[in-house]
Amino acid sequence: MRERLSFYVKRESFLHNLNPLTKLVLALGLTLIGFLSPWYWTPLAIIFFIIAPLSFVGKVQRDFLNAAFRLILPATGFLFIMQALFQPVGKTELFSIWFLHVTRESLAYAFENATRIFAMVSSFTIFLLTTHPSELMSDLTHRGLPSQFAYVIISTIQIIPQMQAKAQTIIAAQRSRGLDTESSLFKRAGALVPLVSPLVFGSLVEVEERAIAIEARGFTSRHTKTSLREIPDSSFDKALRWILLLLVVAIIAVKIWLS
Amino acid sequence: MKIEIKDLHYTYPAGVEALRGVSLTIDSGEQVAMVGQNGSGKTTLVKHLNGLLQPTSGSVLIGDLDTKKVPVAKLAVHVGYVFQNPDEQLFCRTIHEEVAFGPRNLGFDASKIESLVADALNLVELSSRKETNPYDLSPTWRKMVALASIISMDTSIVILDEPTTGQDAVNVARIAHVVAELRKRGKTVITITHDIDFCAENFERVIALSQGKILLDGPAGSVLGQGEILAQTYVDPPQLTRLGKRLGLKKTVRNQEEFLSALKS
């Protein structure tokens, strides 16, 4: 079984070659701009004119569209419907279902939130698709991030695909023992315990083993650590980060100005 | 139950072609060891026997059941599969519950479940620790719990994926004893192993796989004697077999008895 350690897709592209911090700042910056902007169309503009083209620049358009349509769109769509139905704001009622009233305001509110979240998740998706987690972390620790913190982040990024692979094996093992995971919903619900417990137990055991393994390699040593790989940080990277920072500051200023 | 595999091909979704045309018949009650380098397709092959994997092309018949048409949970009545890592299958609070899980899934009645569990625990020498939590045992013993949890399902075919890795001599002997007992009961046992001594001493038939194809298939004595061909899949014949060959013994020997008797004659 092939185990993918992260969402990272290995390609040779301009986006891949950017400094990891730049890409992180980019994802954070786009998210902040999307959330802080006073104009409702900003998140949409970010999605269509920045993130979508970036996915082509990074040669990960297929993976990105896959994630966008199969994961982000359904999730934000759900959010949109829920908020449109349950948000008790506004008076201009458009229509109502039973006790739920959909107003122009609640619709606008839901739309705004859904597009913001779409922009946030998709910008981080691009970031994760083009940045190897260990590259990001070695760059950040080099810049002074405590390595404990780096470890927490990197293990979080890695853990989901790892757990997926593990869950697959556990499902296979329990099905071999006659566990019915395919038929009725009731049976499926009952099948959860035998699937979840080995996953949780196994992960806890792994945490301990990992801790020992990294400590054996001097994780908490106070000496300055050297890095095997130099991660390039060009002047373009620096400029891009400053531009994004300025944009975020500008959008905050506009928001204050308009309010 | 007879196992019939016809021209089995399997390609993983990621594009790796793991099996390239395997045809094989295993009769009821045979003891078969599968050897071969990592990635030669051993695990992929046995995962087809209980329907965990579906052939890309070709077919797998268990008795007269086609694994393509029968769900895994139904095939579990006939084929038991002990996974390599016990931690991926154990979840109950006590060993007893763990071993009873399989037979309960198969829908046996309570008294039959009790007797099957007692028998399986007895076989792996864990009867006295019924109420222990499997996670309080050492990994070696957890492996025995996993083994018992499949034996208790009383399937006519038992698959063992690397049962002896990480086990000391005493435990290997214990597993060998289990295999011998299953043979006595007329079960088919198929074992994947890298432990060539374990293979030579406990199995009558050996199948060597290499790059998704069968390299050698036959009685252990003849397969293990063909060192040059086995080298293609990075399998070394047992030390005694090699020593026997160097000494110029006429017969291929597998274990101490055969070696000594060949030496005396």
Beta-carbon separation of A182 and B73 below 8 A: yes
Whether pLDDT at A94 is above 80: no
Q: Do B12 and A181 touch (CB under 8 A)?
A: no
What does the pLDDT look like over B18-42, one tens digit per residue?
999 999 999 999 999 999 999 899 9
pLDDT over 70, % of chain A: 93
The whole-angstrom separation of Cα B2 and Cα B211 is: 25
pLDDT digit string (tens) for B51-80?
999 999 999 999 989 999 998 888 999 999
The structure tokens 């859904």 sit at A114
pLDDT at A184: 67
CA distance A162 to chain B (A): 14
A12-30 pLDDT tens trace = 888 888 999 999 999 999 9
Distance CA A68, CA A62 (A): 10
Q: Please report residues of A whose CB lies closer than 8 A to that of B142.
A: none
- pLDDT for position B206: 94
Q: Which residues of A touch B102 (CB under 8 A)?
A: 177-178
- Rg value, chain B, Cα: 19
- Cβ B28 vs Cβ B50: under 8 Å: no
Q: Is B44 on the interface with A (CB under 8 A)?
A: no
**What mean pLDDT do residues A82-98 have?**
78
Which domains does chain B show, CATH number per domain?
Answer: 3-74+157-169+187-236 (3.40.50.300), 79-154 (no CATH)
What element of type H or E holds A135?
Answer: helix A133-142
Per-residue pLDDT of B106-165, as tens digits, reads 989 999 999 999 999 999 999 999 999 988 998 889 999 999 999 999 999 999 999 998
In terms of DSSP bridges, do strands B79-82 and B157-161 run parallel, antiparallel, or are they unpaired? parallel
Nearest to B209 by CA among B70, B11, B24: B24
pLDDT at A154 over 90: no
Looking at the predicted complex, does its ipTM rise above 0.85? no
Give me the residue from B12, B47, B153 closest to A177, CB to CB: B153
Q: Give contacts of B71 with chain A, Cβ < 8 Å.
A: 182
Return all residues near B25 (Cβ < 8 A) that are at least 6 apart.
Answer: B2, B3, B4, B5
Which chain A residue has the Cα nearest residue B105?
A178
Cβ-defined contact of B89 to A173 (cutoff 8 Å): yes
What is the amino acid identity at position B18?
A
B128-145: pLDDT as tens digits = 999 999 889 988 899 999
The pLDDT assigned to B6 comes to 95
pLDDT digits 0-9 by tens, A161-172: 778 888 888 888
A144 conformational bin, left if phi > 0, alpha if psi -120 to 50, beta if neither: left
* 8 Å CB contact of B79 and A175: no
Across A241-248, average pLDDT = 94
Cα–Cα separations (whole angstroms), residue B149 to A149, A225, B10, B119, B263: 41, 48, 29, 11, 42
The mean pLDDT value for B187-211 works out to: 93
Q: Which residues of chain A are within 8 Å of residue B73 when distances are taken between CB atoms?
A: 175, 178-183
Average pLDDT over residues A204-223: 85
Residue bearing tokens 């071999």: A176
Question: Where does the pLDDT of residue A1 fall: very low under 50, low under 70, confident under 90, or very high at 90 and above?
Answer: very low
Residues of chain B in contact with residue A198, where contact means CB-CB under 8 angstroms, are 87-91
For A176, name the nearest residue in chain B, comparing CA atoms only. Answer: B76
3-state secondary structure of B206: strand
CA-based nearest residue to B164, from B188, B140, B183? B140
* Phi, psi at B6, each rounded to 5°: -120, 120
Output the pLDDT for position A185: 66
Residue B191's identity, in one-letter code, is T
| CB-based contact A173 B83, cutoff 8 Å | yes
B22: helix, strand or coil: strand
Residue A3 pLDDT exceeds 70: no
Place of tokens 């087809």: B48
For residue B214, name the pLDDT band (cuts at 50, 70, 90).
very high
Query: What is the reported pLDDT for A2?
Result: 36
Does residue A255 have a pLDDT over 80?
A: yes
Say yes or no to pLDDT of A199 above 90. Answer: no
What pLDDT score was predicted for residue A187? 67
Is A193 in Cβ contact with B105 (below 8 Å)?
no
Under an 8 A CB cutoff, do A170 and B102 touch? no
